[in-house]
Structures are given as structure tokens and as C-alpha cells.
A = this chain, B = another copy of it.
């Protein structure tokens, strides 16, 4: 196995401490010339490349990017954000960034955390998720000149033009819900209901709009409930009683509740639970979203964008979701 050269392997080969190797790289004047030569020979021999270290020392930057980890919900609807954290960690590494997680009870707590983290952790940038109407977090970061990008578009951009200036990546949920509605119509359903969240949620309103786009005047069977499996089950019963024969849902949590009442259901986010029970669902391309977010941050920070990341210079990226159609649970679907 070819071991990767590290500060330790250089130190071992040169017969010095890690600190001495670090000094040769950062403060060579502190090291005796013969030790310096020995360490430099060891760096050459091992092929050690202190890229991140060197860049960091040159720029005096932390290379740390902060992200508030949202609280776990029921483990269904929130799993898309965990998948995004995985993708962000991988993609951040391509650009030499590391992800610093923090928690906060609400937006004000998140803003207070920005302030504290800028002071104590010397963060270079932030990534925000779960954007919503009247989002004070993005305004605070703009006011303070902090680099950031959001996974989720600025929902108040139409009413407050300042909201439209920042970097964002989002997935077109309206397209996704429209694809789900067309799929059910193609299966022969004429009375297709929408099971979503109360009006005012940016993402939820977009998904409802996609259902309306396809059905037009026939978009009448509409239930708005808070997210959750039981809420989905109860609202699905009402929609079916009102004559619906199929349901487009704003989340897999709602869809799972509906799925025990009828299998003509499409969920949203293609969670592991959807795969487990054989539920069709709209998948968000979180891997691509994370890659765009990191590329945007790199450009904003003046860092090179590695070839593995998207090279488009767009400040705003709206990705297309993909409908995943399932006939049966993953364990029964044979290849």
C-alpha cells in the first residue's frame, strides 16, 4: 500500500519532530541550516505536498466553512439534509475546505452563532439551508460582508431585491411536482389530489404550483397540513373521501402516511423510506447541489475551482429533480 506522505512521515525520515518540519515550512529562519537541509531533503524524498497548509499559511485563512446542522425531524423528511451534509463534506475537501458544524435553536440563534464563530473560529464562509420568506440570516451575512451560499433560493427576492444578490443553489420543486402529477395522469388517474403544507412555505408553495400547472382547473382536491406521517395518513383519508384516486405529496413523510391508504402516491425527496416501502418519489440532486455550492464559495473567496467541481460561473443555479418510479419495495424488486 502506497502511504501518502504526511508531516509525520517527513519528520520521521528527517529524524526531527513534526514541529521542526512545520517550522521549516513556515518560519525557516528559526531552524538551524543543517536541520533545514535535512528536512527539505526528506520533503523531496517523500513527495510531501503541504498544499492546504501552504495556502493557508500564505493567505492566513482558516479554510473552514460553517454550517448549522438542522435538528432531526422524524428521520424521513430531514434525511435530504443529512445527504446534503455528506455531499458537502466530500465536495468541500476537493477545494481544501472543511465543514464546521454548529447547532442553533432558530434563525436568531444561527445569527448569534455566525457572530461568535467569526470571532472565535475565523471561518471563511457559511453554507445555509432551509431558506424561507423574510430570511434575516442572509441579510445579516450580506451586511457583514461574509461569504456564503445557500441551498435553497431566496424566497423573498421578488419583494426585496437585496435578497437576489447572494449565491444560491436550489432544485426546481415545481418541475418535480408537475412530473409527479403527469405520471399519475399517465397511469389513468383523473382526480389527482395534492397533499402539502400550509401556504407560506417557499418550497411547499412551489410544489403545489407544479401540481396546478398540470391540472389547471381540475386542481381542486388540496389538503394543507403540517409535515408528518400521521398528518399525511389523516389528510389522505379526507382527499380519498372527497373523490381523489391518486395523490401528489410535498414530502415523503406525508406520502408514507398516504401510502397505507392507496398506492397511487408520489412523495418528495426520494428518501430511504420511500425505497424501503416501494413509494415513487421526486429525487433532489443533492450531490450536484453540494458541488455547485462549493464552487460558488471558491469563486467568492478567490480560490481556484478544482476541475472536479462545476465550472459554470453562475451565481444562481436551479437544478432539475428526477422522478423515481417504483412498483414494489426494494427488497422485492428483482433485477
Contacts and interface: CB of A to CB of B under 8 A. Distances in A.
A332 interface: yes
Contacts of A101: 85, 89, 98-101
A260 B98 contact: no
A90 interface: yes
A199 interface: no
Interface stretch (A35-43, A116-124, A216-224): A116-124
Contacts of A117: 98
Given A8-B144, A229-B276, 10 more contacts: A52-B120, A72-B83, A74-B275, A82-B82, A98-B100, A101-B101, A232-B331, A256-B276, A276-B276, A276-B277
Given A53-B116, A63-B120, A93-B103, A272 B74 contact: yes
A275 B330 contact: no
A121 B98 contact: yes
A4 interface: yes
Contact of A331 (B102, B109, B233): B233
B276 A330 contact: no
Contact of A75 (B3, B79, B90): B79
A112 interface: yes
Interface in A6-56: 6-8, 18, 22, 50, 52-53, 56
Contact of A79 (B4, B79, B85, B277): B79
A260 B331 contact: yes
18 contacts: A7-B116, A7-B118, A18-B118, A18-B119, A22-B119, A52-B120, A74-B275, A85-B85, A89-B101, A98-B101, A98-B121, A99-B100, A99-B101, A229-B330, A233-B331, A273-B273, A273-B276, A277-B277
A64 B66 CA distance: 12
A205 B18 CA distance: 39
A331 B272 contact: no
A231 to B, nearest CB: 9
A187 interface: no
Given A75-B271, A112-B6, A85 B64 contact: no
Contacts of A75: 79, 83, 271-272, 275
A79 B6 CA distance: 32
A76 B120 contact: no
Contacts of A74: 272, 275
A299 interface: no
Contacts of A100: 64, 98-101
A71 interface: yes
Contact of A102 (B93, B229, B257): B93
A85 B67 CA distance: 13
B79 A7 contact: no
Contacts of A119: 7, 18, 22, 50, 53
A230 interface: yes
Contacts of A277: 276-277
